[in-house]
Structure 1
Amino acid sequence: MKLPRSSHTDKPWRIHELTPDFTVEDVWALPTPGGPDDFPRLLENFGSGNFPEGAPLIVRVLWEARWKLGRLFGWDDENGGLGTRVPMLLDRLPDDLRAAPRGPDLGDLPFSSLYQLDDEWAAEMANRTVHGVLHLSWVPDESGGYRGQMAVLVKPNGRRGAAYMALIKPFRYLFVYPALLGIIGRGWQASTAGARPTP
């Protein structure tokens, strides 16, 4: 379920210290009901997820098309990313976050983990169109339990980056986010079933 931006901005997350020049693009409630100590399980599932391989065909086609366009237009070349086009947020970390665990490796997804806390994790990526942050958190839900929350923060690279974000927005909302949330939800259900003691 899509949430208002205030669901992220009104919380005292540490990521705010690092991203005052970023815009909150999207905030989503994740289908991951659990208890107060289940955040590590969310991160483990997220890091071992099968996106985009497990997504519907249309999402896999769009994903592959994006990377082909990136190669064609040079969006993802090595001089357009972290530490080259933009400074790494990793370099902005205060001492306590620098000493914290980094968090999961996302495999083929183009994100680099920044830090992991008891209820918050962040990773960054950059190319020639945008500098982005993926933020996962663990929040109380309306039923007295807890659930995951995902926020996407962006800093587009000038007009080209803003145009790129506007162009991909309908595809994200119609295809990518529903597929990603479905994969997260199915992974969560499977891990929950696996965590139940056998009678």
Structure 2
Amino acid sequence: MRLPTTEHIRRPWRIHEIAPDFEVEDVWALPTPGGPDDLPRLIAQITSGGDWPDNAPLPVRFVWEARWKIGTVLRLDRKRDEVGSRVASLRDRLPADLAVVPRGPDFPTLPFTPVYELPDEWAAEMANRTVHTIMHIGWVADADADGGHRGQMAVLVKPNGRFGAAYMQLIKPFRYWLVYPALMKVIGRGWAAGRAASAEALA
């Protein structure tokens, strides 16, 4: 479920002090009900890639593949535009206490790099010719579940000039109508499957 940006802004996340020059583009409640200490399991699911985009609907897979092909033609994803090249890594901004915490697992298939991991939040970044992006995953108390918790994803962006801002506006309908709804379903299925497997192991 999409949430207002205030649901991210109002919480005391450490990302606020690290990336004040980024805009909050999207905030989503993730279908991942769990206990207070389940954030590492969600991080592991996200970084593994899971079933994304293989088990997404055909239109989503088409858009996803088209994006990377278009990126190759327009040279959107060159090495010279990645984190550490066109833009400095957010790790260069970390205060002393965050610089020594774990970064979290690496992504084997997606072009994100982990920045830091805390018990209730985790951040990863990526950059290309159009934008410098942060994926922020928080673990929050769920008002609809007595004592329960869930994941909350925020996407923060810093477009690269007018071209980057125009590109973000161009892809917005595809993200809202196709990509994000399908992604929420894939995350939910993966989470439910993981819970079922854990329960079976304990039985």
Pair in the same fold by TM > 0.5: yes
Q: What fraction of aligned residue pairs are identical, expressed as a percent?
A: 61
Equivalent residues in 2 for 1:26-175, closer than 5 Å: 26-48=26-48, 49-142=50-143, 143-144=145-146, 145-175=148-178
State the superposition RMSD in angstroms.
1.1
Number of matched residues? 199
Query: Cα distance, 1:83 vs. partner?
Result: 1.5
Query: Cα distance, 1:59 vs. partner?
Result: 1.3
- Counterpart amino acid of residue 87 in structure 1: A
- Counterpart amino acid of residue 155 in structure 2: V
- Counterpart amino acid of residue 38 in structure 1: D
Q: Does 1:21 pair with 2:21?
A: yes
Provide the rounded CA distance (Å) in 2 between the counterparts of 1:131 and 1:164: 12
Query: Cα distance, 1:172 vs. partner?
Result: 0.4
Aligned-partner SS, 2:76: coil
TM-score, reference length from structure 1: 0.96
Aligned-partner SS, 2:190: helix
Provide the rounded CA distance (Å) in 2 between the counterparts of 1:150 and 1:136: 5
Query: Cα distance, 1:103 vs. partner?
Result: 0.8
Aligned-partner SS, 1:26: strand
Aligned-partner SS, 2:92: helix
| Runs of at least 5 residues in structure 2 that lack an aligned partner in the other structure | none
